[in-house]
Amino acid sequence: MIKSKCTCASTGNCPSRSRRVIVLSRQLLGRLLMLGASVAFEYLFCFRSRGTVAGHLRIFGVFTDLYGQIPILAFIVFLGLGYSRLKTLREEIPFGRILFGGHFFCMAVVFSMTIAAQKGLGWRFLDPFGYTKSAVYLLATVLLALAYIPPRSWMVALRATGLLWLYALLAGVTGWFLGTTVKSLWYSTSTIDSGMMQRATLHEVQAVLGIFRQDVVVDPTTFTIGTQNNTIMISGGCSGIEGLGLVLAFTSIWLWHFRKEIRFPQALLLVPCALGCSWILNIVRLSALILIMNVSGFEDAWAGFHIAAGWISFTAVALAFSTATEKLSWVRRIPPPDLNSAGAPQPWSEPQGESPAIRAYLLPFLAILAAALVSKAASANYEWLYSLRFFAAATALIYFWPELKKLNWRIGWLGPVVGVAVFLMWIAPAGIARILGHPPAVNSLGTALAALSPTARWSWIILRVATAVVTVPIAEELAFRGYLARRFVSREFDRVSFTSLTVLAICLSSIVFGVEHMKDLMDWQHLLLGTVAGIAFAVALRRRGRIGDAVAAHAVCNLLLAAWVLGLGDWAQW
């Protein structure tokens, strides 16, 4: 059994780390990060229906979508290029509570205006272009910036980074201009040469399909391709541009972050290789989609396959790219050791890379995620391959069991009690709706299962319950509480005792846990429920330092949820 004893006291690793996070939020760099996160949160979540909702934020009469990318890009470039210099500014700065209160008030006004505009209230016609709302929003943002970072600290930051603000602004404008210009490659209505990528994709998919079938039907004017039975339309997004954009963003961030470990300009050659792979995989994806749709019984395969296959492609390309930068000797550069003035290695320099223990804690959960992608790719109405998650996680857990069995898996009374409490909380919204007489949400799962033979139906249900009650609780507790929560405390996470988890680490890991349970970007309910559940499981774990308590809590909650679903036919809860 791994003793729940924190050895970081001897290394000085854990306390300094946790304190660093707290101190960082009082320093300039931390405040800039907080500012970016706050503005992004408010912009993305509070004004999500952009461009489609009356009363949407406009600046100078133009929707902010059109040039909202400029400040975002400028901010990223400013932080990225100025990171090392901003990190040296360690003076603790005060927090402007009154200014923050003003910001909060302004945002409340903006939010009220948005809701009023959505409801079509008459006063909106007094300000049809939303100038008032935009002005209040800008004021709110300025107040927030000054609340986080006082004017004096802004000046210090600008002085320390020289003309970087100008370069960042130019980069923002350049990125916006190029981003807007290249859109013509996949927007088929803007210019005569537009839709080029769709056309190229169409021709290449046609060539691939021609190898397998003789009855290929193509209509270049509508970008439609397929067979006489089934056709698909290659929209702007399907042209491969999303994959190329994601790959380009990922490779740029990767090269920048690990620039000290990578040789330039050799590494830049890998970028077009990654883009080429992304393009080819998109052709393969579309061709496979059409071929699958022409197999009897898989006509609806497009529903899951075309989205999941896109994400599988991106993940594969990103992993191949990162592996190449690490393994290829002509790209990889071994960083020089952190030396002191006498030329000796710094005794306090932190070890590079993750602790090897990460494999046992993360891979079972990653196996579930990978199996979920494959399962969703093969599904239309319901995940008939759901059991893949069970076998994938079970295989990983068995493989790492020699290492995992050293943990304390004993269970006390607290785990099941927490599990029951979390279940009650989780089911409360549906329970209240039932009490009020509202019918349960319509879900295709129940209908799909009813159409199966009894053997197939019960096999699926048994494996679904086994996954929810056995493998998912173990894998998720190992990943979120065993690894992530302790990783927020120290890089040497396996040396951190469960009983010494900090409040900050518990909260941050629980928020990530909540995000994992969201079914939609605006699914606040599951975000909140998941976060609270994560905190409850962490509390069960922290009390006696036993992973078994957290797993028991999670398993009891999922078991009760399964009983609710099967007993009441509330399939939406699955």
| Residues numbered 414-453 forming contacts with another protein, rule: CB under 8 A | none
Judged by CB under 8 A, the chain residues 472 through 491 that form the site for another protein are 479
For residue 432 the two structure tokens come to: 């209240």
- Binder among 142, 318, 420, 572 for another protein (CB under 8 A): 318
Stretch that binds another protein, among 46-54, 206-214, 423-431, 495-503 (CB under 8 A): 46-54
By the rule CB under 8 A, 460 interacts with another protein: no
Helix axes 302-327, 358-377, angle to 10 degrees: 140
CA gap 458, 446 in Å, rounded: 12
Kindly indicate which of the ranges 155-163, 188-196, 499-507, 512-520 contains the residues binding another protein, using the contact rule CB under 8 A.
512-520
Interface with another protein (CB under 8 A), residue from 268, 269, 428, 456: 268
DSSP readout, 59-125?
Answer: ETTEEHHHHTHHHHHHHHHHHHHHHHHHHT--------HHHHHHHHHHHHHHHHHHHHHHTT-GGGG
For the chain, the straight-line distance linking the first and the last C-alpha, in angstroms and rounded, comes to 35
**Interface with another protein in residues 74-133 (CB under 8 A):** 76-77, 80-81
Which of 33, 284, 307, 568: binder of another protein (CB under 8 A)?
307
Query: Site for another protein (CB under 8 A): which residue of 30, 82, 226, 310?
Result: 310
Q: Can residue 182 be called a binding residue for another protein (CB under 8 A)?
A: yes
Place of tokens 């003793």: 3
Residue 206 CB coordination number (10 Å): 15
336 lies in the site for another protein, by CB under 8 A: no
Answer yes or no whether residue 373 interacts with another protein by CB under 8 A: yes
Under rule CB under 8 A, residue 502 binds another protein:
no
Distance CA 149, CA 78 (A): 16
326 binds another protein (CB under 8 A): yes
Size of the site for another protein (CB under 8 A): 83
Give min distance, CB of 249 to another protein, in A.
3
Among residues 480 and 564, whose Cβ is nearest to another protein?
Answer: 480
Overall size of the chain counted in residues: 574
Contact 210, 199 (CB under 8 A): no
Which of 251, 558 has the CB closer to another protein? 251
Task: Rule CB under 8 A: choose which of 521, 524, 563, 569 binds another protein.
Answer: 521
Instruction: Select from 422, 440, 420 the least CA-distant residue to 430.
Output: 440
Beta bridge partners of 259: none
In whole angstroms, the minimum distance from the beta carbon of 212 to another protein comes to: 25
Residue 319 or 503: which CB sits closer to another protein?
A: 319
Type of residue found at 194: S
On whether the CB atoms of residues 368 and 392 are closer than 8 A, the answer is yes
Residues 390-409 that bind another protein (CB under 8 A): none
- The residue (of 253 and 398) whose beta carbon lies closer to another protein is 253
The window from 136-144, 206-214, 260-268, 395-403 that contacts another protein (CB under 8 A) reads 260-268
Under 8 Å between Cβ of 188 and 194: yes
Pick the stretch among 5-13, 136-144, 369-377, 553-561 that binds another protein (CB under 8 A): 369-377
**Residue 326 main-chain phi, psi, to 5 deg:** -90, -35
Stretch that binds another protein, among 85-93, 100-108, 289-297, 310-318 (CB under 8 A): 310-318
Give the shortest CB-179-to-another protein separation in angstroms: 2
H or E, element range at 217: strand 217-219
CA distance 136 to 57: 10
Residue 180 is a binding residue for another protein (CB under 8 A):
yes
Task: Choose, by CB under 8 A, the member of 47, 75, 137, 365 that binds another protein.
Answer: 365
Q: Which of residues 214-253 bind another protein (CB under 8 A)?
A: 235-238, 241-242, 244-253
Taking contact as CB under 8 A, which single stretch among the options 123-131, 188-196, 301-309, 455-463 is the one that binds another protein? 301-309
CB 243 within 8 A of CB 281: yes
Give the 3-state DSSP-derived string for 17-62, with helices as H, strands as E and coil as C. Answer: HHHHHHHHCCCHHHHHHHHHHHHHHHHHHHCCCCCCCCCCCEECCE
Question: Among 6, 117, 157, 362, which residue interacts with another protein (rule: CB under 8 A)?
Answer: 362
**Cβ pair 321, 254 in contact under 8 A:** yes
123-142: contacts with another protein (CB under 8 A): none
Residue 186 makes contact with another protein by CB under 8 A: yes
Of the two residues 97 and 260, which places its CB atom closer to another protein in the complex?
260
Cα separations in angstroms, 26 against 19, 33, 130, 148, 523: 11, 11, 36, 9, 31
**Does 52 contact another protein by CB under 8 A?**
yes
For 164, residues 6+ apart whose C-beta sits below 8 A from its C-beta are: 78, 81, 82
Please say which residue, 99 or 372, places its beta carbon nearer to another protein: 372
Question: Using the rule CB under 8 A, is 195 a contact of another protein?
Answer: no
Residue placing its CB nearer to another protein in the complex, 268 or 462: 268
Minimum distance of another protein from residue 252's CB (angstroms): 4
Q: Give the count of beta carbons closer than 10 Å to the beta carbon of residue 352.
A: 9
Nearer to another protein (CB atom), residue 334 or residue 344: 334
Which tokens go with 258?
């690990």
Q: Is 53 in the site for another protein (CB under 8 A)?
A: no
Is the separation of the CB atoms in 445 and 565 below 8 Å?
A: no
Q: Rounded CA gap, 365 and 394, in Å?
A: 10
**What residues numbered 337-356 form the site for another protein, per CB under 8 A?**
351-356
Task: Measure the CA–CA gap between 454 and 460, rounded to whole angstroms.
Answer: 10
